[in-house]
Structure 1
Amino acid sequence: MKKVPTGFPETFLWGGATAANQIEGAYQEGGKGLSTSDFAAYKDPYTSGKVDNFTFNVSSKELAEYQSNEGAYQFPKRWGIDFYHRYPEDIALLAEMGFKTFRLSISWARIYPTGLENQPNEEGLAFYDKVFDECAKYGIEPLVTMSHYEMPITLTEKYNGWLSRELVKLFEKYARTILTRYQDKVKYWITFNEMNMNLNSLYTGAGVLTDLLPPGKMLEATYQASHHQFLASALAVKAAKEIIPEVKIGCMINQIESYAKTTKPEDQLQSLKSNQLNMFYPDVQARGEYPSYMTRYFADNQIELAIFPEDAGILMAGKVDYVAISYYMSHVTEAREDASKLAGSFDSPIKNEHLALTQWDWPIDPIGLRISLIKLYDRYGLPLFVCENGLGAKDQLTSDNQVHDDYRIDYMREHISQMREAIKDGVELMGYTSWGCIDLISCGTSQMSKRYGFIYVDQDDSGQGTLTRYRKDSFHWYQQVIKSNGTQL
């Protein structure tokens, strides 16, 4: 028998995670086309006195208004934190922390501005060449997400996003382009970021304007769009394995571990079903086929998908090498009238009385991460990667340019400790990239004031500030965590 691991393996990939649409800015430079994220308007989540966790939904009427009257709105993802121009400085700071890997995404609209071009945009390709070369200078392995909550807006306008099967071949073209271009620079890939979040926002995850759907077809559209993404992911995996001999390419979900509210059997059953809806996404991508439990789910919800005879072979041939997750919180589930609507949702209205909450009312549950990792590894037997985790908070910059974020250190210490326990439990864990390692624009609320980073960026929710970078207390703490390979927490 194998010996029980004592801690993180020497090959463990410590680092941090970002997304192109939340850091790059320069939304009209270098030949970039407009993306869906460029039309995510900032909506102040405090005007109603209640924090709105997710505002990134756009209707066809809103999109038309934004396009015809852009000056009347703020689109924070357009300016990001100016990583496009400041990437050498930012990567140098990550290297100072000792990063082994840096998770970032490629903007599809930088490579194919409308998604429809026959030839890629060379300026966009050259930009990522420079970023990857900068990483290589410090021995940092890029972990690249092909699609992270953005796509050319033209594909939303022309096809209503991933509802159309046309996007499968367009994405395969894009994927083959970047895989070929960066085959000597990038070994670690993820196809789609948190595909299961289609259940929360189809515009965010799939570029779909849901007000254009026929009445009662929202759920069916969610799974039809997901099916097309499954096919695109599988074809990207197949291409990666053809092009890059040493490639490691994975899928990713937002891990939503569901606890039953009580020992009541009905609550336990509802928890199981909620977890199944979450696992559906890696089930398809890791096992290469639709799980049997979805047959009844589709029938009960009158969902009929356009699945072609050749799709089964595409999915089976495109199985991933590993499963990546984001983990922020656990959920509580009970058998109640609206249980089916809540299943698979990002944030549960039922709060766990045993857990503290963040400033955004997210439950803090480090042990839930360990539970999730054990369940996932038992289910798939594939390596796992925690590629998002962290604490969003309203950090304060002191008069002497310090940020004392002990609360973030405490949060991360507990989660990393539970990852170490999961490794002792036998889980094969590849790495850990904390979310928003440098402060960035929030995905859900388009805020800057919801900060996750080890590095403070001087910018407010309206895009005002010097953009100067400052090291937080957590910067120095994480530096020691990496240097000690997780033994000094």
Structure 2
Amino acid sequence: MPKKEVFKETAEEEEEVCRADFPPNFVFGVATASYQIEGACNEGGRGPSIWDSFSHTEGKIIDGSNGDVAVDHYHRYKEDVDLIHKLGFDGYRFSISWSRIFPDGLGTKVNDEGIAFYNNLINALIEKGIRPFATLYHWDLPLHLQESIGGWLDKQIVNYFAIYADTCFAHFGDRVKNWITVNEPLQTAVNGYDAGIFAPGRREGSSAEPYLVAHHQILAHATAVSIYRSKYKDKQGGQIGLVLDCEWAEANSDKIEDKSAAARRLDFQLGWYLCPLYYGDYPTVMLEKLGDRLPKFSQEEKKLLFNALDFLGLNHYTSKFISHATSSSEECYYYKAQEMERIVEWEGGEKIGEQAASEWLFVVPWGLRKLLNYIAQTYNNPPIYITENGMDQEEDNSLPLSDILDDKLRVRYFKGYLAAVAHAIKDGADVRGYFAWSLLDNFEWGQGYTKRFGLVYVDYNNGLARHPKSSAYWFSRFLKGSEKKNKEE
């Protein structure tokens, strides 16, 4: 059975990994997102975003919290940049808050204070020799665009995003050489407009809404790429890509229907966005399953989309076994359409891997190697940056700080997943960088402050003090070349 064969594959990834296992120019970084860390929600001319509104709506965030202050990165960015530098990372992926640049999202008047904040952050990174990777959209849409036109449901959003992207390229592109247009458009489409658990929290819309949102995000991405390539790329010399999230889908058995279900699952995650960019339209299986719910691209739009990608950013956390299922307990239209079941256990009942704090997150390093090889084979081996990879701990105030900081499972997680990346590179996948999620514990969207993904502990009860965890120190040794193979922790 395939699942037993996978067991054999895990052994090679239990070995220690070291910096020398990666190409010399490989970028190692950490990642964050504006709403999760910045705070200063009413400072510096910033306008409200949909996450401000959503998090202040009763019952939407599990602990009733919000990102008004978050971890105060807006005021402490120099301290945080120093942390990145001291730990030895050479890349930092951050997101720009659209409503700091254009408070109403419309692009009529640039907010100079917002420009100044990101200029200061970028300059601080450059001074420390850290490469900035800037994400234009990490879910925090200006609230005015949601209230006035319906946000991503209206095609006008493409033009507003284009103005915003152009403005960022013009102000920051002399120093930012790595641009990401949209982070995880799938999560905005499905969790924002189907499950309703992310801003703007729509659940009552039609089953076509997630696909319309995705359609407009794809067009916004391609339009921004076109602007960058026509106006800025030759002069600034940067590159621009898209970040997608994907769990590896391993067929639960050798049965053809399970193999088809696993392939279908990957098309509904990656193919949804990559097939239009590489092959001109949505995946065949999505066209078959969804019919008229999928919007259509015009011939002119297909030309705009073609190869509108210098690199692929991949956010990956875990893997699942997939079996065919004609009926589904899933509430989302999106999952029902896939006719599959996600399974987290081997045949004997043991879990697919050690479990992190989140119910969906299991430690399954071999899945990342398989996913990278799948992308290489399916999409003509594009340059890939792993733009997020990590795991969470439960918030637990009952433990002493020394115990909380000794995050042994996270260390095992990073060792295993980095080994999987090293193997995928040897297999031929064109992986050029890796960003751990996240630099800091932060506001974890619908989970509020109940989950901690950071390499650095943030003490929410004592002035937001930063304390590096064991995983941060492990990474530091790894990056400085002192972490050798088979060295005992």
- With the shorter chain as reference, the TM-score category is 0.7 to 0.9
Structure 1 segment 58-457 matched on structure 2, within 5 A: 74-203=64-193, 210-211=202-203, 213=205, 217-218=206-207, 220-241=208-229, 242-245=231-234, 246-284=237-275, 286-287=277-278, 289-294=280-285, 296-297=287-288, 300-303=290-293, 305=295, 307-316=297-306, 319-339=308-328, 341-342=334-335, 350-353=343-346, 354-361=352-359, 362-380=361-379, 381-394=381-394, 398=400, 403-446=405-448, 448-457=449-458
Distance 1:285 1:119, change over 3 A: farther
RMSD (Å) for aligned C-alpha atoms: 2.8
- Paired position in structure 2 for 1:66: none
Q: Distance in 2 between matches of 1:355 and 1:399?
A: 26
Read off the aligned partner of 1:11 and give its amino acid letter: N
Deviation of 1:465 after TM superposition, in Å, equals: 3.6
Structure 1 segment 34-45 matched on structure 2, within 5 A: 34-41=48-55
Deviation of 1:223 after TM superposition, in Å, equals: 1.1
Deviation of 1:264 after TM superposition, in Å, equals: 2.0
Distance 1:255 1:402, change over 3 A: closer
Distance 1:38 1:305, change over 3 A: same
Structure 2 residue matching 1:86: 3-state secondary structure:
helix
Read off the aligned partner of 1:451 and give its amino acid letter: R
- Paired position in structure 2 for 1:48: none
Q: Distance in 1 between matches of 2:126 and 2:414?
A: 27
Q: Distance in 2 between matches of 1:408 and 1:100?
A: 21
Read off the aligned partner of 2:453 and give its amino acid letter: Y
Distance 1:117 1:426, change over 3 A: closer
Question: Which of 366-375 and 230-239 deviates more?
Answer: 230-239
Structure 1 residue matching 2:387: 3-state secondary structure:
strand
Task: Please give the per-residue CA displacement for 1:317-341, whole angstroms capped at 9, x wherever unaligned.
Answer: x610111111111122222233585
Structure 2 residue matching 1:385: 3-state secondary structure:
strand
Contact 1:224 1:306 in 2 (8 A): no
Deviation of 1:279 after TM superposition, in Å, equals: 2.1
| Gap regions ≥5 residues in structure 1 | 46-54, 58-72
Q: Distance in 2 between matches of 1:131 and 1:81?
A: 16
Q: Distance in 2 between matches of 1:40 and 1:34?
A: 11
- Paired position in structure 1 for 2:16: none
Scaled by the length of structure 2, the TM-score of the pair is 0.85
Distance 1:9 1:400, change over 3 A: closer
Task: Please give the per-residue CA displacement for 1:197-232, whole angstroms capped at 9, x wherever unaligned.
Answer: 24531258996553563xxx22x1111111111111
Read off the aligned partner of 2:463 and give its amino acid letter: T
Contact 1:406 1:474 in 2 (8 A): yes
Q: Distance in 1 between matches of 2:153 and 2:103?
A: 20
Deviation of 1:467 after TM superposition, in Å, equals: 0.5
Question: Which of 289-298 and 307-316 deviates more?
Answer: 289-298
Structure 1 residue matching 2:393: 3-state secondary structure:
coil
- Paired position in structure 2 for 1:67: none
Deviation of 1:249 after TM superposition, in Å, equals: 1.1
Task: Please give the per-residue CA displacement for 1:389-439, whole angstroms capped at 9, x wherever unaligned.
Answer: 111003666356971111110111111111111111111111111111211
Residue-pair matches, total? 449
Read off the aligned partner of 1:168 and give its amino acid letter: V
Question: Which of 27-36 and 246-255 deviates more?
Answer: 246-255
Question: Which of 466-475 and 279-288 deviates more?
Answer: 279-288
Q: Distance in 2 between matches of 1:56 and 1:269?
A: 36
Distance 1:221 1:86, change over 3 A: same
Q: Distance in 2 between matches of 1:185 and 1:229?
A: 26
Contact 2:58 2:64 in 1 (8 A): no
Contact 1:401 1:470 in 2 (8 A): no
Structure 2 residue matching 1:310: 3-state secondary structure:
helix
Deviation of 1:238 after TM superposition, in Å, equals: 1.5
Q: Distance in 2 between matches of 1:124 and 1:402?
A: 35
Structure 1 residue matching 2:394: 3-state secondary structure:
coil
Q: Distance in 2 between matches of 1:455 and 1:81?
A: 11
Deviation of 1:105 after TM superposition, in Å, equals: 0.1
Q: Distance in 2 between matches of 1:393 and 1:167?
A: 37
Task: Please give the per-residue CA displacement for 1:14-45, whole angstroms capped at 9, x wherever unaligned.
Answer: 01100000000001100000001112338999
- Paired position in structure 2 for 1:51: none
Distance 1:323 1:348, change over 3 A: farther
Read off the aligned partner of 1:327 and give its amino acid letter: H
% identity of equivalent residues? 28
- Paired position in structure 2 for 1:49: none
Task: Please give the per-residue CA displacement for 1:213-258, whole angstroms capped at 9, x wherever unaligned.
Answer: 3xxx22x111111111111101111222231332121111111211
Question: Which of 285-294 and 373-382 deviates more?
Answer: 285-294
Structure 2 residue matching 1:77: 3-state secondary structure:
coil
Deviation of 1:267 after TM superposition, in Å, equals: 1.6
Q: Distance in 1 between matches of 2:184 and 2:433?
A: 17
